[in-house]
Chains A and B, each alone.
Chain A
């Protein structure tokens, strides 16, 4: 069964450093998403991406964040200058064929720890 994959599973970085979280969505999917979950808190929407551009972003997704689909398979989330409060699980998700009512498939997540 196809699945969303994410790398790395755990990333440790120093405050102020740049990190890139990588995701490989399911191959025929057209909508892509990033969510995050701070430990013990709820899952929060960050950004949605369709047709090679951001379609919606939340207030959390400020200028320190960016997303990119550099090739036909990868979908990345970059945090330019990490802060302690960026420590969280980051989940990538994708859904198929542009029908926004379809289910989203989530990856296993990347745990980001900012020291």
Chain B
């Protein structure tokens, strides 16, 4: 089972920041937080990942709390094309460390005009 909890759905106005929360209270010290998104049954798309520090790239920012039990993905200026299911994933899992991703149900973000 996924080790994360996300709201089922969220709305955001176009041009505004979208803040997507994720709880991962059982995260262990060597596990990263990854965010992927899936636009309308396309293949999932990597957004960003982090371990302890906040991260920013051209797509988004990732804010991880100091205790690492939760994080927030920020899309600074959401567009209609950002409408998608957003997955918060903690991993990699297991002693084998094969990099497998365990997807939960994710958050369906609807960006509205």
Contacts and interface: CB of A to CB of B under 8 A. Distances in A.
Q: Do A and B bind each other?
A: yes
A75 interface: no
B102 interface: yes
B46 A105 contact: yes
Contact of A44 (B92, B99, B103, B106): B103
Contact of A42 (B43, B99, B103): B103
B100 interface: yes
Given A42-B104, A42-B106, A109 B41 contact: yes
Contacts of A50: 98
Interface string A98-115: 001111111111000000
Contacts of B44: 43, 91, 93, 104, 106
B49 interface: yes
A109 B44 CA distance: 10
A52 to B, nearest CB: 14
A65 interface: no
B46 A103 contact: yes
B46 A100 contact: no
Contact residues on A (Cβ < 8 Å of other chain), bracket: 20 to 34
Interface of A is mostly: strand
A107 B43 contact: yes
B105 A48 contact: no
Interface in B28-46: 32, 34, 38, 41-46
A21 interface: no
B100 A45 contact: yes
B46 A104 contact: yes
A43 B38 contact: yes
Interface of B: 2, 32, 34, 38, 41-46, 49, 87, 92, 94, 96-106
Interface of A: 4, 31, 33, 35, 37, 42-45, 48, 50, 55-56, 58, 89, 91, 93, 95, 100-109
19 contacts: A33-B100, A33-B101, A35-B103, A42-B104, A42-B106, A43-B87, A45-B100, A45-B103, A48-B98, A56-B96, A56-B98, A89-B41, A93-B44, A101-B49, A102-B99, A103-B34, A103-B46, A104-B44, A108-B43
